[in-house]
Structure 1
Amino acid sequence: MRLLEAENGGLSVPAALALAVQQAMAGVGGLGGLLHHRDVVSGELHLVAVGGLGPGFSEAWAKMPEGGRTPPARAARSGADIWSADGMGTHASGTAAVPLLGADGPIGALSVLMARPGPPDEEQWSFLASVAAWAVARAGPADGDTTSTGGSRRWPASDHLGEEPSADHFDEALIAGRPDEVQAVPCSERTFRMGELTVALAEAVTSLDVVRAVQERVLPPFGADGMLVEVIERNRLHILGSTGYSREFLEQIEGVPLTTHTAATGVLYSRTPDFVESPKELLRRYPELESLMITSAKKAWAMLPLIASGRSIGCCVVSFDRERSFSEEQRTLLTALSALVAQALERARLYDAEHARAQKLQRGLLPRTLPSLPAVSAGARYLPAGQSDEVGGDWYDVIPLSSDRVALVVGDVMGHGLAEAVTMARLRTAVRTLADLGIPPDELLAHLGDLIRDLGDDSYATCLYAEYDPVTRICAFSTAGHPPPIVVRPDGTVVRPEPAADPPLGAADPPFGTHELHLPEGSLLVFCTDGLVESATRDIYEGLDQLGRSVSRAATGSSRPSSGSLDELCDTVVSDLLPDREHTDDDAVLFVARTRSTPDRDVASFSLSDGPQAAGEARRHVREQLALWDLSDLEVTTELVVSELVGNVVRHASGPVRLRLLRSRTLICEVYDSSPTTPRIRRATSTDEGGRGLQLVAAVSQRWGTRFLPEGKCIWSEQTLVS
């Protein structure tokens, strides 16, 4: 029915009725079709359209008495669907007839000679009824009441009566003197192929899907040798897809301005199909195209404008290696098909545009390169779903934190599409913001849950957030419906923590748990999304076990990358788990981090007095430790930093005070206390005696901040090491 619905009224009534018969045959796999209309005076049924039958058969049923026992007569008389095992003098297994229902009752019948034994099923009966209704509507309202004058007048028979496509092909070939081209194509087969095209176009998602459908479904039924689909972009014609043309020819026509006088631009301006049956005809109308015609090596063309939503969006050219003529049936089909192709292409291009925006967004949000940090080195692989043209919501990230700590995060927004990519972007941004505030993993996930709920009831996401401290070698993590990280120790031992029972973000509002792992230096933390480990043939737990074994083999076995690269390790593991990447049902992420630890010699910790003398003690410890580390050039600024931080604690906080110095890529100073009060920079007036300490800290530090702890807080500062 899509092909019929695409017909925009440009066909004559006989051509439209012939198209209805062809579609009825294609829809139920018929050998032939008949459409009869009742004469309002005599009551006889007159054959007005036929398909798939030779002149002998069609002439036998050109007229039927109103009271006849044939299926068409019975359907037209009773207004009911009729099935008969009578093939009406053909080799058909039977005849299915449905009435043509007008405003005042049946006005005719649509009949199909069935190839398979038995009556049509319910869906096929419904399809035939829909085609019959379309034919009635397309033929227009019946004439008003008539009064017999007692006379008669002869009318010419329908041009389509007795038409036999197979015979037409023979006649055309013999007249043109090319009998070697003769190929009998049964009407039922051709219309069936056209029916397949309507299905393929309905299922097409991308523009390339539309081009592929035209190539596979249009060219064979018409015996075509070439196809070219061009679309209008910025007042030029750009090639979307082609077959049967040389690269030289395609390069010559790519990007032709619409103002150029060509056959393609001509049909776009006229908005009517153009059928050119020989090179001579083409050169007569477009003499300037001689060189292009020679390069193309084609001899006949059907040039079809693609018009959707009332505007020209491109053209489709179906071409042939030899001269040929186009029958009225072929012109009718190609014209109707061009409308269907245009609608499918318009829909597909809208999808392509959205898909491109989503891909651009996703590429911009996923890390282009993973940083090498003091705490970890990392590698990752992202694989889009092989059978999906939509982007997913899988993401991963490595976030540097204070004191050489690092946050490792992986997540999966449920679904595919631009909306999911946008949700992923919002979550990733929120994670980075919350992580920078020093919020613990469980609280961070709780905030993400609030964000997801604000997006609506249909938004869900899983997430795993972990923080690794290279000084303590502890990895603290929380999960929301996501598998916990797999640990592969340096000796190849695989540790898979029990999965937490916490639900996905947006599904509930529970308190999330926090779990800790003590990791030897050089351990691998393995993160993934379900697309990597879960499939129709493998549940997620089997997949996680296989993932752990695969990483262990790749890290310690003979398949270990010679360079030790985690990217190469990821490639090996992905090939092991997804040997056929083209057939993955979901996006997949593999994210691996190798842990490092801070040497004890690069860590110095001191307890300070709980009073004003603490600042002096801190300065003394700084001088002594920086001398041991050969960093005396930072002595002055570091003394200033610790004096201000410790003094701030003494004046505004409480509890035991502790100083810790870390030597890494930067010099890190940390001051711990038991108060949750957060220090902040304030604007001091010219007469204020205080209020400038934190301004000085910010001025001499590369960065500084506060992070919260269960027993208080830590104020930290980082200074760049002088090379």
Structure 2
Amino acid sequence: MSRGGSFDDSEELLNRLGLMTARARELAATQRSRVELAVELQRGMLPGDLPHPPGISVAVGYTPATHGLNVGGDWYDAFTLPDGRVAMSIGDVQGHNIKAAAFMGQVRVALRALASVTGDPGELLRRTNDLLISLGSDLFATCTFLRLDPVTGILESARAGHIPHIWATADGRSGVSGGDGGPPLGVLPGAEYPVSRHQLTLGGVFVLLTDGVVEGPSLNLDDGLRQVARLAQLAVVAGVGIDGLAEAVMKMADTVGHEDDAAVLVVGHDGGTRGRLLPNAETPQESATQDP
């Protein structure tokens, strides 16, 4: 081969490498734009303001997944019901893409809309499930919905295939509240969702999570829940406050090695009227139910 031919071949190779590099940069920029769009879409569907009735505080934490387009699945919400009680929900949609983010918005809006008709957690999840099935989507969502009376501290909850929540009391006790639940929303027509009753006592907290906080390659779900229960116990005894507790839980989420969204919602009783133990409430070992 002539020296000229070698020069021409080298020049052609450099041109091809230049085109490939430019194309790679273009694809990277497009992917980055898609991720930013998905993240902003999801963040835009989360509530901007949280209710803070006298004696009750609510804190949240949220981190979107950043691997590819793995965003869009998790949400939290808190709002005041017409009767003055506080509604809270947290959940996780199957899938992690823009479609999942849109479905998450549908679920959250459905819960809010139907809560104006019934605030009972079990009935609300039943109606939401039937509504989602009627829409014919191929996605489903896990969810926990809570209704809290800020005057008495009575808290009612129902779960739709979601992971348990955590409780801790001012006297140093904590645990995982794993009462009966129903199937995920959007799966089984006519599904029922049992309601558990708890009591949030002065200085106590309840912590709602998505599985991205407590489960990943370096941590299994049961160990993750126990670690959060321990964090809640330490935070309550030390008087850290719910904002500090939410921040600590989200820092723990960074260590599980997941590529999933992570969300936490903490509700605490920091003053006001103290509730009295309900005759049919859960035992102190299963719920934040007992006054010192």
Please report the TM-score for the alignment, with normalisation by the length of structure 2.
Answer: 0.82
Partner of 1:550, secondary structure, is helix
Q: Deviations over 1:670-723 (max 9, x none)?
A: xxxxxxxxxxxxxxxxxxxxxxxxxxxxxxxxxxxxxxxxxxxxxxxxxxxxxx
Deviation at 1:160, TM superposition (A): 7.0
Q: How does 1:64-463 map to 2 (within 5 A)?
A: 158-159=1-2, 327-374=7-54, 376-385=56-65, 387-456=67-136, 458-463=138-143
Q: Does 1:589 align with 2:271?
A: no
Closer, same or farther in 2 for the Cα pair 1:340/1:411, shift >3 Å? same
Closer, same or farther in 2 for the Cα pair 1:574/1:329, shift >3 Å? same
Cross-structure match for 1:657: none
Q: Does 1:550 align with 2:226?
A: no
Give the alignment partner of residue 222 of structure 2, picking from 522, 541, 545: 541
Cross-structure match for 2:185: 505
Greater radius of gyration (CA): 1
Rounded to whole Å, the distance in 1 between the matches of 2:115 and 2:224 is 30
Rounded to whole Å, the distance in 2 between the matches of 1:537 and 1:349 is 31
Deviation at 1:331, TM superposition (A): 2.0
Give the alignment partner of residue 569 of structure 1, picking from 242, 245, 261: 245
Deviation at 1:455, TM superposition (A): 5.0
Q: Deviations over 1:160-218 (max 9, x none)?
A: 7995xxxxxxxxxxxxxxxxxxxxxxxxxxxxxxxxxxxxxxxxxxxxxxxxxxxxxxx
CA contact (8 A) 1:388 1:585 kept: no
Give the alignment partner of residue 474 of structure 1, picking from 154, 157, 161: 154
Cross-structure match for 1:578: 253
CA contact (8 A) 1:532 1:588 kept: yes
CA contact (8 A) 1:481 1:504 kept: yes
CA contact (8 A) 1:375 1:406 kept: no
Of 455-464 and 487-496, deviating more is 455-464
Q: Which amino acid in structure 2 is aligned with residue 339 of structure 1?
A: L
Rounded to whole Å, the distance in 1 between the matches of 2:34 and 2:210 is 24
Rounded to whole Å, the distance in 1 between the matches of 2:3 and 2:183 is 67
Q: Deviations over 1:505-542 (max 9, x none)?
A: 12323211111112323320100000001112322122
Give the paired residue count.
Answer: 273
Larger RCO, structures 1/2 (Cα 8 Å, 6+ apart): 2
Cross-structure match for 1:516: 197
Q: Which amino acid in structure 2 is aligned with residue 402 of structure 1?
A: P
Rounded to whole Å, the distance in 2 between the matches of 1:523 and 1:554 is 10
Cross-structure match for 1:249: none
Partner of 1:541, secondary structure, is helix
CA contact (8 A) 1:382 1:589 kept: yes
Rounded to whole Å, the distance in 2 between the matches of 1:162 and 1:599 is 90
Q: Does 1:525 align with 2:206?
A: yes
Partner of 2:227, secondary structure, is helix
Rounded to whole Å, the distance in 1 between the matches of 2:9 and 2:138 is 50
Rounded to whole Å, the distance in 2 between the matches of 1:330 and 1:389 is 38
CA contact (8 A) 2:62 2:250 kept: no
Rounded to whole Å, the distance in 2 between the matches of 1:388 and 1:599 is 48
Closer, same or farther in 2 for the Cα pair 1:381/1:536, shift >3 Å? same
Q: Which amino acid in structure 2 is aligned with residue 473 of structure 1?
A: G
Q: Deviations over 1:118-141 (max 9, x none)?
A: xxxxxxxxxxxxxxxxxxxxxxxx
Partner of 1:330, secondary structure, is helix
Closer, same or farther in 2 for the Cα pair 1:162/1:358, shift >3 Å? closer
Closer, same or farther in 2 for the Cα pair 1:160/1:506, shift >3 Å? farther
Partner of 1:512, secondary structure, is coil
Partner of 1:422, secondary structure, is helix
Rounded to whole Å, the distance in 2 between the matches of 1:366 and 1:420 is 14
- Structure 1 ranges of 4+ moved more than 4 A: 160-163, 454-457
Rounded to whole Å, the distance in 2 between the matches of 1:451 and 1:428 is 12
Partner of 1:404, secondary structure, is coil
Closer, same or farther in 2 for the Cα pair 1:358/1:599, shift >3 Å? same
Rounded to whole Å, the distance in 2 between the matches of 1:466 and 1:375 is 17
Can you give the 5+ residue segments of structure 2 that lack an aligned partner in the other structure? 275-292
Partner of 1:373, secondary structure, is coil
Deviation at 1:456, TM superposition (A): 4.3
Deviation at 1:596, TM superposition (A): 5.8
Q: Which amino acid in structure 2 is aligned with residue 550 of structure 1?
A: L
Partner of 2:94, secondary structure, is strand
Rounded to whole Å, the distance in 2 between the matches of 1:593 and 1:346 is 45
Rounded to whole Å, the distance in 1 between the matches of 2:172 and 2:217 is 29
Deviation at 1:407, TM superposition (A): 0.4
CA contact (8 A) 2:60 2:246 kept: yes
Closer, same or farther in 2 for the Cα pair 1:498/1:363, shift >3 Å? closer
CA contact (8 A) 2:118 2:124 kept: no
